[in-house]
Amino acid sequence: MSEPDATAQAVREFALRCPVPLPPGERVVLGHGSGGKLSAALIRDLFVPVFGGGAASELGRLGDAAVVEVNGIRLAFSTDSFVVTPKFFPGSNIGELAVNGTVNDVAMMGATPLFLSAALILEEGLELEVLGAVVTAMADACQHAGVALVAGDTKVVERGSADGLFVTTAGIGVIADGVEVGPERARRGDVVLLTGPVASHGVAVMSRRAGISFDGDLASDSAPLTSLVQAMLTAGDVRCLRDATRGGVASVLNELAEASDVSMTVEEGAVPVLGPVRAACEMLGLDPLYVANEGVAVAIVAPEDADAVLAAARASEYGVHAAVVGEVGDAPAKVWLRTGLGATRPLTMLAGDQLPRIC
């Protein structure tokens, strides 16, 4: 059987077994990876049902990492892929991102990350110097984050089949007794806290994309947030934690509101943004609340502990600009934005792909 036939045969067999009807002929589009509505739909409508979960399963819980229990010990386990272009951009690079991204996913469950694996997919023709720089960056990031890289794999694909290189990391960490963090725990009266200024990463990457390049004091905020998170957990009742990556803060807030079945209101003026990042967003017509971050967490905190948790965040290396930006209200699950003028409008999930607005 020739290759295309074998693929077509497998697709037919799958279609017969799949519990979810998929529209025939529909293709993956970039929006499926941007962290917004399309991504969520893909996970909810294809991946979760197929892998035998429902909303109640661990996969269906949609936390940043999975929490599993082995012999009475709770572990947080997560994986993430990194496909960013260009590979090196102001402030960081794909290697550092790959380490910090998975470290943070694990840390967001209240766990201390311990071990990582890394799988590299390399495009034929990639300069060895570039590969060397990437893995050196990964090693440095592991040391800085306090994790050990203990397993790895490498594959090479033909020229044109991968954009230089892709990195996938997986990570595992231990959750101490008594730590309970989860997306479904937000309650009315809780406070919404951001650990740092938003949009820095997405803007830094975009600033190096051909056709949109500009210069300035821009740098990715990629950072390991383990100690920041631990300091916050020690200071008070942190109910939910999520890493605000693709789709930005707005997408995370919508996910948390949905998981906890609560509403949230965010004060637009309270959201911290660094000056040059704001300027870049203005120039490109981007909304900072939807731009990717790599070193910012959203925390939902019990109101009586808000001051203490905020102080703990601000005392931590990567939380100096932490700020309270909103509050949690009753169901139904919806996120609201109070604008500078005092009007309130819904802050919806990212629809499709946020392309720079030009015209």
Contact set with other proteins (CB under 8 A) = 27, 29-31, 37-38, 188-189, 191, 197, 207, 210-218, 267, 269-270, 272-276, 278-280, 282-285, 303, 321, 323-329, 339-348, 351-352, 355-359
Minimum distance from CB of 33 to other proteins (Å)? Answer: 13
144/278 with CB nearer other proteins = 278
287-314 burial, b if ≥16 CB within 10 A, otherwise e? Answer: bbbbbbbbbbbbbbbbbebbeebbbbbe
Query: What's the min distance (Å) between Cβ of 22 and other proteins?
Result: 15
Q: List C-alpha distances in Å: 290 to 199, 245, 281, 286.
A: 8, 9, 11, 8
Choice between 109 and 266, CB closer to other proteins: 266
**CB 24 to other proteins: min, Å:** 16
State the minimum distance, in angstroms, from the CB of residue 326 to other proteins.
7
Tokens of 355: 């392309």
Tell me how far, at minimum, the Cβ of 253 lies from other proteins, in Å. 14
Angle subtended by helix axes 226-235 and 94-107, to nearest 10 = 20
Buried b (16+ CB within 10 A) or exposed e, 242-272: bbbbbbbbbbbbbbbbbbbebbbbbbbeebb
Is-contact 218 204, C-beta < 8 A?
yes
Least distance in angstroms from the C-beta of 77 to other proteins = 31
Q: Write out the DSSP string of 250-261.
A: HHHHHHHHHHHT
List the one residue out of 292, 290, 247, 232 whose CA is nearest residue 92. 292
Inter-residue contact 93 to 201 (CB < 8 Å): no
Instruction: State the Cα–Cα distance between residues 323 and 270, nearest whole angstrom.
Output: 7
Q: Nearer to other proteins by C-beta: 12 or 27?
A: 27
- CA-CA distance, 66 to 182, in Å (whole number)? 10
Nearer to other proteins, 155 or 188 (CB): 188
Q: How many Cβ atoms from other residues are within 10 Å of residue 133's Cβ?
A: 16
Residues 6+ apart with CB under 8 A from 27: none
CB of 127 to other proteins, least distance (A): 21
For other proteins, the closer of residues 78 and 207 by Cβ is 207
Identify which of residues 132 and 275 has a Cβ nearer to other proteins in the complex: 275
Residue closer to other proteins by CB (options 153, 282) is 282
